Structures are given as structure tokens and as C-alpha cells.
Amino acid sequence: MSDTSTTVTPAHFEYIAARTTPEDDLLRALKTAAEEAGIPAIWIAPEQAALLQILLRLSGAREVVEVGTLAGYSAIAMARALPPDGRLSTIEIDARHADFAESWIARSDVADRVRVLCGAGIDRLAEMKSGTVDAIFIDADKHNYPNYLREAERLLRPGGLLMADNAFAFGYLLDANRQTPDVLAIRDFNDLVARTSAFQSVIVPLGDGCWVGVRR
Ligand code: MG
């Protein structure tokens, strides 16, 4: 450990969370309803939502794409950082998850800024025009992350914002005994991003680790 870095411990995470604006009633109710509906209880932490919102505001993003809607938590959180004429397109392969997310987006304060695209990430991204996207958040099936990265390179305008979740591989990044397909895919993806010259990127240790990059 160099003397310029502090090892981030669980206590640091608790400290950070205690100083982050908590989620509001709508997002809390969404989580409860998702659990009751048997939708996987996977969503970004409030402190990661704050990071994404700050990055979106700083970059002045209007046209945003998310790969992996799941319950719609991060879509609603990110859309709140867009201007009134901004638009977030979120892609979900599972029709049941897409329906659930759509119903919660419809009752949110950003219903006019979010559209759910049902289908495979690769197919829906391929329909989008090159250089037209301001920011993209990748949070879907891990073995396709390299494909999503390639599409992000094509879709983002110069200066566009790349964000990708789960760089810490659900906590197993450095656990050599953990060799599941998803963990292996994240390790490969992290190495791929590190050598991708199209982006200047860094992993921010919030939530399960979040890649943040800028399209050169
Ligand atoms: Mg994730």
C-alpha cells in the first residue's frame, strides 16, 4: 500500500453511506415491491447513484443509454440528473422486469424522460446512431460487457461518459478461488478497459466498483 492511498474498509463504506443523501420514498417502495414480485434484489447503492448523478450533471448529458434496467432503480436515479429535455433509454432483455420497471417509471417524477426498450442489449444498441449518446451505463449480463464496451465506443460522442457497474465482481474480484463465469468475465473486462485507448478510465470504489471513463 502506497502512502498516497488509504485501504477502503467496510467501515469506510458505512461512513460514506452515512454522509450520502438516502434514497427517497419512491425508490424505497420500488425496492420493496421488486422483492415482493420476486425480481432479483439487485440495485446500485445510494452513494453510487449520487456519483452517477454528479457525473451526468457535470457532463451536461441529455441523451443517456443504460444496458440492464432490471427494476428501474438506476434508470429513475440517473434520469433525475438530466435536464427537462433529456432522455434516458434503458434496455432490458426480460419482459417481466421491463414491465415492472415501466410501471414504476410511470409513477415517478421522471416518467417523461425515460423509455424502456425491451430486447437484447446488443440488438437495441446496434439500432442507435454513432456518436449520438452523451453517457452510457453498463449494468447487464457480464459476458457481454466487451460487446457493450465496443458499442459504447461507437455510440458516445467525444467527451462522452462511460460508466460500468460491478468492477469488483460482487466482492470476488481478488478471490483466486472464485472462478465463476461472471467473475471471470469481470476480470477480463477490467483488463480490457485498462488497455482500451478510446477511453480515459478509472475504477471508483463505490458500491460494487464502478468504471468511469471519458471518450477521447
Ligand atoms: Mg450491477
Per-residue model confidence as pLDDT tens digits over 42-61: 899 999 999 999 999 999 99
Considering only CA atoms, which of 111, 121, 178 is closest in space to residue 150? 121
The C-alpha cell 432490471 sits at 70
For the chain (216 residues), the mean pLDDT of every run of 10, in chain order, is: 81 94 95 94 93 97 98 98 97 97 98 98 98 98 98 98 98 96 98 97 95 98
Pairing assessment for the beta strands 210-215 and 87-92 based on DSSP bridges: unpaired
Q: pLDDT value at position 51?
A: 97
Q: From the CA of 151, how far away is ligand 1's center (Å)?
A: 18
Q: Which amino acid is at 212?
A: V
Cα distance between residue 163 and residue 61, in whole Å: 13
pTM of the model: 0.96
Stated as kind and residue range, the H or E segment containing 75 is helix 73-79
Q: From the CA of 88, how far away is ligand 1's center (Å)?
A: 17
Q: From the CA of 69, how far away is ligand 1's center (Å)?
A: 10
The 3-state secondary structure of 15-28, one letter per residue: HHHHCCCCCCHHHH
Q: Is 179 helix (H, G, I), strand (E, B) or coil?
A: coil
Q: pLDDT value at position 1?
A: 53
Q: pLDDT value at position 41?
A: 86
- Answer for the pair 208, 168: CB distance below 8 angstroms, yes or no: yes
Q: From the CA of 140, how far away is ligand 1's center (Å)?
A: 7
Q: From the CA of 44, how far away is ligand 1's center (Å)?
A: 6
pLDDT tens digits, one per residue of 66-108: 999 999 999 999 999 999 999 999 999 999 999 999 999 999 9
Q: From the CA of 3, how far away is ligand 1's center (Å)?
A: 31
Q: From the CA of 68, how far away is ligand 1's center (Å)?
A: 8
Cα distance between residue 30 and residue 32, in whole Å: 6
In the chain, how long is the greatest CA-to-CA distance? 49
Q: From the CA of 142, how far away is ligand 1's center (Å)?
A: 9
Q: From the CA of 84, how far away is ligand 1's center (Å)?
A: 26
Q: From the CA of 120, how far away is ligand 1's center (Å)?
A: 17
